[in-house]
Amino acid sequence: MDGNRRFAKQLGLKEGSGHVKGREKLEEMLDWCTELGVKILTVYAFSTENFKRDTKEVRELMHLFKKNFRKAAEDERVHDKGIRIQAIGDIDELPADVKEAISYAEEKTKEYEEYFFNIAVGYGGRQEIVQAIQKIAEEVKKGELDVQDINEQVFAERLYTSDFPDPDLILRTSGEERISNFLLWQSAYSELYFTDVYWPGFRKIDFLRAVRSYQDRKRRKGK
């Protein structure tokens, strides 16, 4: 969900306003996905690299995360539609109040299986891969896993997304044409779609164009 700050600058607003508008857009996106029957939505909300941003901006973002995880947990639409909320990433690196809000949202929605809403926060694709390797190495060291048994499935089961299939479509806003450390392992055969619209200005018609582009492609997966 790229372009919050540039969107705000374009309109002469403070950066924080861009993040608030981005959060509002995310609520719309969730509605669009459920309308179309898209069962799994994973959004890149905050990367490991984002911790290097200005301290004030990071603090404001953490406040938004705390507020919005709790808000989502109480949202009637989430419960009416059976949406399970889950955070993926290095959650231990987040402030205590944000971790509490995440736990609250996950606990309130843990029984739902109709739709899945994954929020990548404190997430980095390379970090995820390194941590998976560390888990496997530890299991081998303890004698719980034989080296010869390590394969793609074993590796994937150690990732944050172990409960989910690989993404069909990865969509990035703002005009940047790269995936920026997002789901590096999982995106091996994902279809990519880039649009030059900043995230807060992303419209339903833009989303439908991305879906139509995906539907028109032939997915061979190397075959």
Catalytic option among 4, 50, 90, 216: 50
Catalytic option among 2, 4, 75, 118: 2
Task: Determine contact, residues 106/87, Cβ cutoff 8 Å.
Answer: yes
Q: Sign (positive/negative) of CA torsion 59, 127, 29, 94?
A: negative
Look up residue 143 and give its amino acid.
G
What separation in angstroms does the CA of 44 have from each of 86, 151, 188, 214?
Answer: 12, 27, 17, 20
Distance, in Å, from the CA atom of 113 to the CA atom of 117, rounded to the nearest integer, reads 10
- Is-catalytic flag, 2? yes
- Is-catalytic flag, 50? yes
- The catalytic site residues sit at 2, 50
